[in-house]
Structure 1
Amino acid sequence: MSRIGKKPVDLPSGVSASVSGQTIEVKGPKGTQSFTATDDVTIVVDGEAISVTPRGKSKRARQQWGMSRTIVANLVHGVTDTFKKELEIQGVGYRAQVQGNVLKLNLGYSHDVDFAIPQGVTITCPRPTEIIVEGHDKQVVGEIAANIRDWRRPEPYKGKGIRYKGEYIFQKEGKKK
């Protein structure tokens, strides 16, 4: 039984939701987002809350129940506030800067990496070794942060690379003579 799925999603003031078929559309001060659920769950808007219930006892229905409820909660959060991922760059000469609609990364390669910033997401660099990715869709923000991190993942010997803020990298011991 899903513990997450049982809890209804509360709608804050200024946010409205409508369901048509399996698609829920949430409107708020920061925009509109929608999600189409599978046929294994039922989404109901009753007043100031959205509830998700499974349509059977199958394993897939129970899996979709908790996931769908979490996605709906992220939609409600996204139309009222932004999601944020912070990245840190460590390494001598490694730095980042935003120029127009492009994130320029110097990561020790023979060339600079130009990362095009997609629509609906803002990327800022308050310092040359810090990148902040913000947006209203949690999945898109996480995916873009992961794509930036993939350009130079932190290596286990010196810890150089791009990491999430607060991420712990286990340091391996080097060779011994």
Structure 2
Amino acid sequence: EEVKEKAQDVKKEAEVKAEEVKEEVKEKAQAVKEEVKEEVKEEKAEIENKIASTGNYPDLITSLKNNPWTSGDLNTRVKFEDIRRQVTLHEEEITDLPLDKIKTSLSPESLVDFLNMTSAKPTILNRKEDTSYEFTTRDPKEIDLIKKRYGLLDREIDKITSVLIFDKEGQKLKEVKDVLAEGKNRIYMETKF
């Protein structure tokens, strides 16, 4: 009887302890959850503060502001075309471009900077499911923005074509294609979201 009583006491004590630990874990999890929420809020506010329109393309900039992304969300492909030798190199063959930098450097801020600065009038193509805005420029400042975006400041780029493809309502960016002309060569970057 005594052993049974002690066993029940130990069992009750263990249950109380388990309940206390469970409650403690729950409180800690809630605290971490709140902390993460705050960090996300701050990060989103920071992105929103950095993303502002100077009057050029406010609808596109609002779309970028409402749909930010991280480098982990990107699916980027790179291709290099040597026109003189008529050779196209795909990612696995390219050795003189910072592919890791190119594949992780596209950000909402860099696109907004370009849209706010560009003086190029885009060619707008309305298709069934999306709308594309094609900007082509030789302006050195605008070219430098694109070069900086991809970590290609040491390259002699003389012309860029940047194509931004949004869904039909213009609410979400679907794809970014950049073509950088380096003399007779072309560097193609294609990012899908």
TM-score by length of 2: 0.29
**Structure (1 or 2) with the greater strand fraction:** 1
Which has more radius of gyration? 2
TM-score by length of 1: 0.31
**Structure (1 or 2) with the greater helix fraction:** 2
Higher relative contact order (CA 8 A, sep 6+): 2
